[in-house]
Amino acid sequence: MQNHTHAHQKQVTNRLSRIEGHVRSIKQMAAEGRDCPEILLQIAAARKALDNAAKLILKDHLEHCLIHAVNEGKQEKFLKDLQEAIDHYIK
């Protein structure tokens, strides 16, 4: 299921844009030798933002792609790929 669209696709790319900018500013903080706990707090925030983007992708995936996969009789592959992604996420 390549090159498909989702309800929250624009929101997901906007969030990833913000995370990219956030990581760039954290890199700048590290390069300037800023206070370590302050940098750790920002990394924790970027990590949380990645989790929230992942949750939004998963929501789209379950709402849109699952129906599409079932309609095409590809539910087994759908579940296998999803399981693999979740296994990577929670380890």
Residues forming the site for its own copies (CB under 8 A): 1-6, 9, 12-13, 16-17, 19-20, 23-24, 26-27, 30-37, 39-41, 43-47, 50-51, 53-54, 57-58, 60-61, 65, 81-82, 84-86, 88-89
Which C-beta is closer to its own copies: that of 73 or that of 82?
A: 82
Cα 30 vs. chain centroid, distance in angstroms? 24
Distance in Å, CB of 34 to its own copies, minimum: 6
Q: Residue 83: left if φ>0, alpha if ψ -120 to 50, beta else—which one?
A: alpha
- Say which DSSP state 59 is in: H
